[in-house]
Every structure is written in C-alpha cells, then in structure tokens.
Amino acid sequence: MRVLAALPLVLVFLLPLAASLLFVLPDAVNAGALRELVAHPQFSGALRLSLFTGLASTALSLLAALAITFAAGGRNLAGRAGVFLAVPHLSLAIGLAFLIMPTGVVARLFALLAGWNAPPQWVTTQDPWGFSLIVALVLKETPFLVWAFASLLNRDDLRRQFEGQQAVARSLGHGPASTFLRILLPQLLPRAAGPLIAVLAYGLTVVDMALVIGPTQPPVLAQLVWTDINDADPAVSARGGAGVVVLGLVVALVVAASALAAVMFKKVRQRFYGAAPRPGRGMPRGLAALWPAFLAIYAAAVLIMIVQSLSGHWPFPQRLPDVVTWKAWSHLAADPAPLLTSLALALASAAAALAACVAWLEWTPARADRVLAPAAVLVLCLPALLLALGEYRLFLALGVTGSAAALFLAHLLPVTAYVFLLLAGPYRAFDPRWQATAHGLRARRLPFLLRIKWPMLKAPLLSAAAIGFAVSVVQFVPAQLAAAGRFATLPMEAVTLSSGGNRALIATYGLALMALPLAGFLLASRLSRPRWSTP
C-alpha cells in the first residue's frame, strides 16, 4: 500500500522534475555560452538590478507582513489574506501600472488640479532603479507572508503552545511588542523559511511583472534571459540557457548567504532575547493602517482595470473615457477557448495534485517527506524559466510537445509542489489520538478517513486545492513552451494581446486571469466553514 500510495507523486512529480533538471544540465557546462553571457553589455547591470529588487522587495515584504501580523493582535488574517493570494502577479502589475503611469489615474487627478494638458514626464513605471517593480512585488508578496504567518499561528498544535508562552511572557512583564519580538518572532521565522525563500526566489527571477512594470535598459536578469532564450539565433538562445543556470545559482547563493547571515547574527539576537522585559506602550498608530492600505491599493488597481476594460478612446487629461464599450469583453466571450482550457487545466491539476498528495501523506511514513519536501521547495525556488526549459526539452525528446498530456504535466508540477507544501504541515500534525480512538472503536480506515479525518482537515485540504488551482491558472512560461501553439491558455492570450498594447483588452484579460482563482478561493472558503458554526 505504501509503495502504491507513493507512486503517483513519484511518477508525475519526482521523475519529471529530475528529468527536467537533467535536461538543463548541458547548459550548466556550456562554458562558451557562459562567457558570452558575462560579456553581454547589460549583464552586470541586470544582475545588480535583480539582486536589488529581489532583496529589497523581500525585506520590505517581510517587515510589512510582520507589522501587519503584530497589529492584528491574534486575529486570524488567513482568510482575508487568501483573497489577496488569488490576485495573480501579472494582474496586479497591470492594475498598478494603470494607476501610476504618466497617463494613469494618479496623473489624471494631478492634471485636473494643476491644469495640465499633456501627461507629465514622470519616471514611474519602468524607472531605471526598479522601484515600481519593488512596490509591485511588495504589494503581492506581503499578503502571502501574512497568510503564511497566520496559518502558522493558527495551526492547532502551535496555537496552544504560543498561547501558553505568551501568557508566561505577560506574567513576566513583557508588553505586546516585546512578547511578539521575543517569543513569537524567533519561532515564526524558522518555520516560515519555506515561504520566505519562495518570496526571495520569486523576487530574484520574476519575468511577467518585470515585463509590465520593470526597467528596460538594462532589464532585470530574468528578463534578459527570457529574451535570449526566445531568440532565433542558436548562439543567443544558448546564452539564454546559460543565463537560466546563472539565475538558479544566484538564487541558491542568496538563500545560502541569508541563512549564513541568520546564523552569524545569532549572538546579537540572543542578547536581544535575553534583555529585560519591556512593558511597552500600545501599538504605533500607523501599523493598524497598513493592512487597510494594502486593501485600498488592491481595490484601486482592480477598479481601474474594470474601468479600462470598458473604455474606448480615453484622451489625457480627461477623468473619464470618451466611449464606454463592451468590445473587449465581447472579444473574450467570442473566443472562450483559452478561458475554458485554463479552467479545465486548473481543475484537473488541482484535483490530481490533491489526490496524489493526500495518498502520499496518508499512507507513507512522515520520514518519506524528507525526500519530497526538498523537491517541492526546489520547484518553488528554482527560476520558473529553468524548470520550464528542462520540461520543454524532455517533452521534445519524448515527442509529446503540443499534446494535452504535456500541457497538463507542465501545470501539474508547480501545482503539486504548492499543494504538498501547504498540506504536509497540517496533515502530518493531525492529532493521532483521533485515529487511535477510532481504531479502538473498531472503525475501519476508509470510513474513518471519510467521516472523521478528512472532514476535520477540510479547511487545509480546500485551501491547498484553491491555491493549487490559482497556481495552475497563472502558469505562463512552462505552458507556453509545452503547448507548442496547439493550445492557448488565459495567460498566453493575455501576454500575446499585451504585445499589441490594447489597454482595454489587457485590462479585460488581467481581470479574467484574476476571476478564476478568486472564484476558487471564495468557493474554498465557503465550503471550508465548519458545518456546526452559525452562518
């Protein structure tokens, strides 16, 4: 049974992952291409920019998430943060760009007040320092970290432990801030290492957001590599392959350096933890406003996308468009194939990943996770480009590019990684006494699972499925390569249309891209309400 239960994940996850990595190996040892890459006039600038935007966005997101978690004072933010998670990176970048670009909403408001006739020469989107990219990343990653912290704080086993410790700390005279920093923080951060590394890796290697809002001369390293990979010239394409490997190395080095820094600062931290208790004043007022501020920016970004999607000609500095039209939406309705393909892929991959992960977690011993968990973390931390390139070559060698199976597998890989990482914690932490009790009552395994265990784990199961669904919907790079033009999905369509610059269409597809995961999250949160709670 154990082997049988482990088989699905081995077949659809571990094997393709290993094979994909194997297929990128030739790039790692292509010294000529590597030299070409280093000689690229934009290489050093792009690398600097990637390090800056990746590190700054991660640090700021972490600070903001901790501040928000602290300000929540024990309230469970997981549900609310879930809604933010549903907003794809690409959609947020599009909405944010509509807000801050020199012909955006903010500029129009200023124009109204100052009486401008021509758009200002603001350096907002595409600023050479990458500030707007950092803002976009912080907006997107902070809720993810808030959600990760909230999930940890509310995990059954941890919650009891933390509550006890906090009570002790209070009795020793620690104020709320002191308790948070000295008791919760040191226990939270190591447990949140996975999400933090994922945020860092994403910030260092993001392509789609950078394409919309990032600098161009030089661009971030991932964007440079993406352009190279797609070049028709084999030498340039090989340079891109080398770039993918370098990108992976950059992530590995930065993560290793961060871990090292955490160890080196141990002494400093210990001195801090051992300091005398501070009763502390109340919470700084600004902190409480942080979470609503995020909400407001998201709402504004979505609102402007809705307005843009309905607008025809909209000359500057008019506050409202000249023409309101459904043209962009009817475009989406006229060709629903990409929407339906994305929906089917997301449903199928989320369901398959959930089933495979539950099988693994239920029937294999916990120590088996020691193989799978690092593999899943690897998928999240490796640049999407690297895995996608390996997958593409694997499919090519198998002769399955452009098949539905290849497209499905390309979606399944990242979905499985997320579902597994989200589910493993709560599933393994399930109180074994329930099973012992059921066993004592002579209940067989399956009825126990169906009636007791899975219903009790309903919330984590559903939220893992919802996130898996969302992850599937936004896959662009691997899907594009695996589909070989035989299938179109929503993000492919969105990116293709965005090359034509039709803002109404871009906004419409940005919204459609957001609608699917959002629906998934709402459904999951509705279903995961305990049956016995009052509505």
Partner 1 sequence: MLNRRTFLATSAASLILPVAARAADWPAIEAEARGQTVYFNAWAGSDTINAYIAWAAGEAKARHGITVEHVKITDTAEVVKRVRDEVAAGKQDGSVDLVWINGENFRTMKTEKLLFGPFSESLPNYALVDVAGKPTTRQDFAESVDGLEAPWGMAQLTFFADGAKVAQPPRSMADLIVFAKEHPGRVTYPAPPDFHGTTFLKQVLLETAPDVAQLAKAADGMAITPAWQAMLDDLHPHLWREGKQFPKSQADITNMVADGELLIGLTFNPNEPANLVAAGTMPATTIAWQHAKGTIGNTHFVAIPVNAKARAAAQVFANFLLSPEAQARKNDIKVWGDPTVLAVEKLPAELQAAFTGSAAPGSVSLPGPTLLEPHASWVPLLEKDWLSRYGKG
Nearer CB in complex with partner 1: 116/454: 116
Smallest separation, CB 138 to partner 1 (Å):
22
Smallest separation, CB 97 to partner 1 (Å):
11
Smallest separation, CB 111 to partner 1 (Å):
10
What long-range pairs does 290-298 form, CB within 8 A, spacing at least 24? 290/64, 290/67, 290/68, 290/71, 291/68, 291/71, 291/72, 291/77, 291/146, 294/68, 294/84, 294/139, 294/142, 294/143, 297/96, 297/99, 297/139, 298/84, 298/87, 298/92, 298/139
Are 23 and 393 in contact by the 8 Å Cβ rule? The answer is: yes
Positions in the binding site for partner 1 (CB under 8 A)? 40-42, 45, 102-103, 117-119, 121, 123, 126-128, 211, 215-218, 227, 230-234, 237, 312-313, 315-316, 322-323, 331, 396-397, 399, 401-402, 484-486, 488, 492-493, 495-503, 505
Element (H, E) at 182: none
Instruction: Please tell me the distance from the alpha carbon of residue 157 to that of residue 154, in angstroms, as a whole number.
Output: 8
Smallest separation, CB 210 to partner 1 (Å):
11
Instruction: Please tell me the distance from the alpha carbon of residue 456 to that of residue 527, in angstroms, as a whole number.
Output: 12
Nearer CB in complex with partner 1: 127/362: 127
Structure tokens at 506: 């871009």
Smallest separation, CB 16 to partner 1 (Å):
18
Nearer CB in complex with partner 1: 234/440: 234
Nearer CB in complex with partner 1: 435/502: 502
Smallest separation, CB 328 to partner 1 (Å):
9
Residue 311, phi then psi, degrees to nearest 5:
-95, 140
DSSP string spanning 367-396?
A: GGHHHHHHHHHHHHHS-HHHHHHHHHHHHH
Nearer CB in complex with partner 1: 240/520: 240
Nearer CB in complex with partner 1: 453/503: 503
Smallest separation, CB 117 to partner 1 (Å):
8
Dihedral angle computed from the Cα positions of residues 464, 468, 470 and 475, in that order, rounded to the nearest 10 degrees = 160
Nearer CB in complex with partner 1: 190/501: 501
